[in-house]
Chain A
């Protein structure tokens, strides 16, 4: 199956700064890469995704980039706010529609 590695495991940023989380995957057939945000005690919720035919996608303060050759993709959060504090998971598809998740990054935004 797919192996997804995510770094860093924890990230502390000053409010207003940017946060970057990086993931690598192993299956060259993977074609869908979602990012989920999970607040404490809540369910994971999709915040942005990217497909393999696109190199970059942006939605307000968040953006995702994909490098298929290198098999890595990244989440960028600009102008971080306290409500961005959460655990973020990257994922990649394997065997068509199943997802393999990274271990998660705990982001803390300091006021």
Chain B
């Protein structure tokens, strides 16, 4: 069991570039989440997916889109990256309340 995996681990983008962060889980969880973590601000929910085929906005969705490709995979897309999106991004999954996190993607937008 790999748990929750994320790719890439690190990424540097220029302002205006686009990219997709990938997340996959092998725990057969229904719910999946994308968070961003900024210093002194904890983890803030970007988007979540309660089950395959459904997605909904969280606290800070602007500038992002998501796709729940199947039960295992939940991707986060930045269409036109901005310096304000420099952050560490965590994917998580859950079957009940307990959420399991991936290792994170450190994204820098120049």
Contacts and interface: CB of A to CB of B under 8 A. Distances in A.
A104 B42 contact: yes
A97 B59 contact: no
B40 A9 contact: yes
B45 interface: yes
A45 interface: yes
Nearest to A4: B42
Q: Is the interface of A mostly helix, strand, loop or mixed?
A: strand
A94 to B, nearest CB: 10
Given A43-B102, A43-B104, A103 B41 contact: yes
Interface string A70-111: 000000000000000000010001000111111110000000
Contact of B45 (A42, A98, A104): A98
B59 A93 contact: no
Contacts of A97: 31, 50, 94, 96-97
Nearest to B41: A103
A34 B98 contact: yes
B90 A44 contact: yes
Nearest to B35: A101
A101 B40 CA distance: 11
Interface string B48-72: 1010000000110000000000000
Given A1-B59, A43-B104, A98-B58, A89 B43 contact: yes
A49 B98 contact: yes
Residue in A43, A103, A104 with the greatest tally of chain B CB atoms within 10 Å = A43
A104 B90 CA distance: 16
Interface string A43-79: 1111001000000000000000000000000000000
14 contacts: A6-B42, A34-B97, A43-B90, A43-B102, A43-B104, A46-B98, A46-B99, A89-B42, A89-B43, A97-B50, A97-B94, A99-B45, A99-B97, A101-B44
